[in-house]
């Protein structure tokens, strides 16, 4: 597997476009479109929030019933959530207009929205945007990158990643590509999925296996990040596979499926970690690895509890090695362990390690050294539970004045 440039247009047969539709933001692009020049098997995971945005409901129907798609239309600025029947009607009309413009059924058009909850989307601007984007669709890497910028809200950087790997084909080994983009900065505490993420691949793969692979990858990537503990109404991750790579179609859980899953995990993890590090107001990424756990679920629960703790997040912002807060967050997580038998470490970017806690006690440590290790762009903690062999890693970011500033006055 090799990292390659690009995002949603890295794989064969996919194009992208974007435009400034003036939905809410001024002077920047705020709509994006992805298309495939042939039908795709589609997999998706969605928010577990009971209050689901209209485009989530729309996409779920396509992913669970139709299982095929050709296009995705996304807008930033308005979430189309808590918008009732009118919000659903606007989804249908957006898809119908897009389908007509592209010459495909409306049931092949996936939708995504992100932004403020409550207002209805302005249909005239959305359809004008779709008409404009249709004219500029391009399979260039630049078109994919521009699309990843158009879906940003409070994000400070765009997020894309792509890999290439080899699978057996009719003429020996053939290269297969998988890439994607995502956005998300606040209201980030995905449960079954992230904010908005769009992945494309030219791999030929059975739809049921595609869905299974996506669900598994999400578990240890997008579901292991948190910015603020708030699970959004709009979380959507879609994976489109158009089969144009020419590989022998994957129809069972063989070595090819394993190679595909590995590539998918790699793309999901990269995008998820980028989202955590670009959390609203964040100055640094925070990572917590829990190992030697009795079960994978317990390791996940403990790791996520630490990166979601307001007090740990504020301490990382203040570069204060107040490691008792990590102990506290492990203790209330809800997974069992023996406080007398665990060890907690801080890891520096240059490979240094500081032992914070052992034998039931916070240990004395070199404050200057700790300050230096907490001053990088990423802060990494780990905890050895000494119970078993399972492990999990979670990613978050620090809690800063800017998070409060951004969210104290979001709508204006």
Q: How far is the CB of 359 from a second copy (least distance, A)?
A: 6
d(CA 247, CA 157): 34
Among 26, 252, 350, 359, binds a second copy (CB under 8 A): 359
Residue 377, judged by CB atoms within 10 A of its CB (0-12, 13-18, 19+), counts as exposed
Among 81, 238, 374, 394, binds a second copy (CB under 8 A): 81
Question: Which range, of 59-67, 75-83, 97-105, 122-130, touches a second copy by CB under 8 A?
Answer: 75-83
Q: Is 409 in the site for a second copy (CB under 8 A)?
A: yes
Query: In three state form, how does the secondary structure of 132-185 look?
Result: HHHHHCECCHHHHHHHHHHCCCCCCCCEEEEEEEEEEECCEEEEEEEEEEEECC
Q: How far is the CB of 66 from a second copy (least distance, A)?
A: 24
Which spans in 254-393 are helix H? 255-277, 296-308, 310-317, 324-331, 367-373
d(CA 401, CA 143): 35
Contact assessment for residue 343 and residue 384, using Cβ atoms and an 8 Å cutoff: yes
Of 153, 194, 233, 393, which one is the catalytic site residue? 194
143 or 225: CB nearest a second copy: 225
Cβ count within 10 A of residue 409 = 8
Q: Is 191 in the site for a second copy (CB under 8 A)?
A: yes
Among 35, 83, 154, 201, binds a second copy (CB under 8 A): 83
Near a second copy in 223-262, by CB under 8 A = 228-233
Question: Which range, of 11-19, 45-53, 157-165, 387-395, touches a second copy by CB under 8 A?
Answer: 45-53
Q: Burial code of 72-83, b = ≥16 C-beta within 10 A, e = fewer? A: bbbbbbbbbbeb
- Judged by phi (left if over 0) then psi (alpha if -120 to 50, else beta), residue 136 lies in alpha
Q: How far is the CB of 312 from a second copy (least distance, A)?
A: 8
- 149: its two tokens: 């910028």
Number of shown-chain residues binding a second copy (CB under 8 A): 68
- 75: its two tokens: 């807008």
Active site residue 45: no
Site string for a second copy, 141-180 (x = CB under 8 A): ----------------------------------------
- Residues within the interface to a second copy (CB under 8 A): 47-52, 79, 81-86, 116-119, 186-187, 189, 191, 228-233, 308-311, 314-315, 317-318, 320, 322-325, 327-332, 336-337, 339-340, 357, 359-362, 399-401, 403-412
Q: Which residues are catalytic?
A: 194
């Amino acid at each position: 597997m090799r990292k390659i440039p690009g995002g949603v247009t890295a794989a064969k047969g996919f194009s992208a476009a974007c435009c400034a539709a003036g939905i809410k933001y001024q002077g920047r692009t705020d709509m994006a479109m992805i298309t495939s020049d042939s039908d795709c098997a589609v997999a998706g995971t969605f928010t577990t929030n009971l209050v689901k945005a209209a485009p989530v409901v729309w996409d779920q129907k396509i992913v669970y019933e139709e299982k095929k798609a050709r296009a995705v239309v996304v807008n930033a600025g308005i979430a189309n959530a808590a918008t009732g029947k009118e919000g659903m009607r606007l989804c249908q009309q957006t898809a119908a207009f897009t389908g007509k413009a592209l010459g495909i059924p409306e049931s092949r058009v996936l939708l995504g929205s992100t932004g403020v909850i409550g207002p209805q989307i302005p249909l005239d601007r959305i359809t004008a945007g779709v008409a404009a984007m249709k004219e500029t669709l391009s399979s260039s890497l630049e078109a994919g990158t521009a699309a990843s910028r158009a879906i940003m809200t409070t994000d400070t950087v765009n997020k894309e990643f792509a890999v290439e790997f080899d699978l057996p084909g009719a003429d020996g080994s053939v290269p297969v590509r998988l890439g994607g983009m995502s956005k998300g900065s606040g209201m980030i505490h995905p449960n079954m999925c992230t904010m908005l993420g769009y992945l494309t691949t030219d791999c030929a793969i059975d739809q049921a296996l595609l869905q299974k692979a996506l669900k598994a990858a999400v578990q240890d990537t997008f579901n292991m990040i948190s910015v603020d503990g708030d699970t959004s109404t709009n979380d959507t991750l879609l994976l489109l596979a158009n089969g144009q790579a020419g590989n022998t179609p994957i129809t069972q859980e063989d070595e090819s499926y394993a190679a595909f899953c590995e590539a998918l995990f790699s793309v999901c993890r990269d995008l998820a970690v980028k989202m955590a590090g670009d959390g609203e107001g964040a100055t640094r990424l925070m990572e917590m690895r829990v190992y030697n756990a009795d079960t994978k679920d317990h390791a996940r629960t403990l790791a996520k509890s630490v990166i979601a703790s307001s007090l740990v997040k504020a301490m990382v912002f203040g570069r204060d090695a107040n490691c008792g807060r990590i102990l506290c967050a492990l203790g209330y997580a809800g997974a069992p362990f023996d406080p007398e038998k665990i060890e907690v470490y801080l890891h520096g970017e240059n490979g240094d390690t500081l032992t914070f806690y052992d034998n039931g006690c916070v240990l004395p440590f070199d404050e200057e050294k700790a300050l230096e290790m907490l001053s990088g762009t990423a802060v990494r903690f780990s905890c050895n539970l000494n119970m078993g062999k399972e492990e999990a890693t979670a990613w978050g970011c620090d809690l800063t004045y800017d998070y409060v500033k951004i969210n104290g006055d979001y709508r204006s």
